[in-house]
Amino acid sequence: MSKVRVAAFSVSIDGFSAGPRQDIDNPLGVRGPEIFSWFFQTDVFHKIHGQGSGATGIDNDMALKSFENVGAFILGRNMFGPVRGPWPDDSWKGWWGDTPPFHTPVFVLTHHARAPLEMKGGTTFYFVTAGPEAALQQAREAAQGMDVRIGGGVATIRQYLVAGLIDEMHLALSPVVMGEGEPLFAGINLHQLGFRSARRVAGENATHLVLDKG
């Protein structure tokens, strides 16, 4: 059965998944890359970005699993890029170059319409103005029975969580204390939403926690 899931999403020890003051020079916020350091070291990340070989092991295995059986992604507009307000033109095509790592349809939540953007490697970005539930309906149809992955950022995951639309979360707990930034779960009662701790795996640079609804 297909799932709506979050996968390989990093969170600091004190609950932040992005640093403060995000902009084009700090897409993950100030100090945000520290939260995702475990992923940046993996062979998966290195291969995605044409950087040769990276570290193999448990962290890399968990990163690989995050792409398994994914038929579509959903991203928030901030995850897609730093452009705010109406799109000035079609020049911004994401952070990932001509061949993004998704290789599936990707549905971007936005308040401003834009034509679909077809990239190399099988990724097409669709810009959805009708809200999260409409984006999920389109993503389910595009996924054709495979899983839909909510890729982020923080605000987008929180929207889907509060709506009760996420079935499973794989979180990578990074040994970093941020002190400030974007909190992932502030004000959200995961227990009331039905989540339980289903699996815990100690990686080389992060602890991987899988939460599901049993």
Domain ranges of the chain: 4-16+29-83+97-212
Please tell me the predicted confidence (pLDDT) of residue 75: 98
Gyration radius (Cα) of the chain, Å: 16
Burial of 33-43, coded b for 16+ CB within 10 Å and e otherwise, reads: bbbbebbebbb
45 vs 47: CA distance, rounded Å: 5
Of 197, 196, 132, 208, residue with least CA distance to 165: 132
Q: Which residue has the tokens 């995961």?
A: 190
Q: Is the pTM of this model over 0.75?
A: yes
* CA 1 to chain centroid: 21
Give the per-residue pLDDT at 213. Answer: 95
- CATH class for the domain made up of 4-16+29-83+97-212: alpha beta
Nearest to 9 by CA among 179, 158, 188: 158
pLDDT averaged over every residue in the chain? 96
| Choice between 197 and 1, residue whose per-residue pLDDT is larger | 197
Q: What's the rounded Cα separation, in Å, for the pair 2 and 161?
A: 17
- Return the amino acid letter for 117: L
